[in-house]
Amino acid sequence: MVNVTRRPVIGIIGNISLLNGDYPVHATGTSNSEAVAQVAGGLPLMIPSDPRFVSVHELLDLCDGFLLTGGRPNVHPSEYGHDETPAHGCFDRCRDAITLPLIRACVERGQPFLGICRGFQEVNVAMGGTLHPEIRDLPGRMNHRMPPDGTVDEKFALRHPVRFVSGGLFHRLMGSAEVMTNSLHGQGIAVAGPRIVIDGHAPDGTPEAIYVKDAPGFTLSVQWHPEWRAGEDPVSRPLFAAFGAAAAAWAGRRAA
C-alpha cells in the first residue's frame, strides 16, 4: 500500500467585494493561493469570512493553518476601544467576527497562522493592541499606501527597507538584519498588544514585523505583502516555507 502524505490545509481568509459593482462575492488574490501551494506546500482553501456561513470551531477542525490576508476594509475601531471616524475608512464587520476570535484560539492552541497587512493589524488587535487610522498623517512618517497609478508590478514593487531586531526571530529566519519590502497599507500599529513583540520596523519607525510572545505555535505576521511573487522573492520564500513547515507539523500531530 502506498502511503500518500496529504498537504496541510491552509485556510485563506477571504474578503467581501462586489463583482461588476453590485454582485457580492468572497474573494482572495490568486497570489495568496500561489504562495500557499507553491512555496508553503499547502492546500489552499479560501474561507468565506462570515459567521453566517462558518464558525471558528469548524475552521480550527478543518484547517492546519491560516493565512490572514490583506484587504481594503479595516478592522473596526470599536474592536480596540476607539470611535469610528472618516479616517478609518471602510469596514468588514463579518471578517472581524471570524478572524479576531480565530487568532486568539490559534494562539492558545498553537495552531499556525501567518498575518499579512490587514492580517498583521488583526493580530495586534486580537491581542489587545490599537491601530492608527492613517500612518501618513503622523509626523515624520512616510506614505505607506499603494501607489495610485502604474501597473500591478509597479504597485507591488519594493519600496523601503525593514530593519529587524538583531538576533530576533525574523533576523534568524531571513539570515539578514535588513530586507527590502513593498508597501501597500494605510493603517498601522499604534500601541502593541501586551504579548505582541515588534521585531522589525520601517525607517520611519512604523512596525513591520511581529509575533506573539510565548505562543506555542507559528504567529509571524508582516505589514507588507510577501505573497506577491513569493517564489521569486528571497524575503517571501523563507517566510512562507517556515509557515508551511509549521502547518505540516500541525497536520502531522493531528494525524498521529
Contact 217, 115 (CB under 8 A): no
**Residue 85 corresponds to which cell in the numbers above?**
471616524
For 22, phi then psi, to 5°, come to: -145, -5
Is 227 marked active-site? yes
- Residue that the C-alpha cell 498588544 belongs to: 193
Q: Which of 132, 144, 185, 225 is catalytic?
A: 225
Is 82 marked active-site? no
Mode of pairing for the β-strands spanning 23-27 and 43-47: unpaired
DSSP code at position 231:
G
Is 225 marked active-site? yes
Q: Which of 88, 117, 185, 208 is catalytic?
A: 117
Give me the sign of the Cα torsion angle 148, 135, 203, 172: negative
**Residue 93 corresponds to which cell in the numbers above?**
464587520
**Residue 10 corresponds to which cell in the numbers above?**
491552509
- 223 Cβ contact list (under 8 Å, min separation 6): 117, 120, 121, 144, 183, 185, 188, 202, 206, 207, 208, 209
| Contacts by residues 77-81 (CB-CB < 8 Å, ≥ 24 positions apart) | 77/131, 77/133, 79/125, 80/125, 80/128, 80/129, 80/130, 80/131, 81/130
Could you list the active site residues?
A: 117, 225, 227
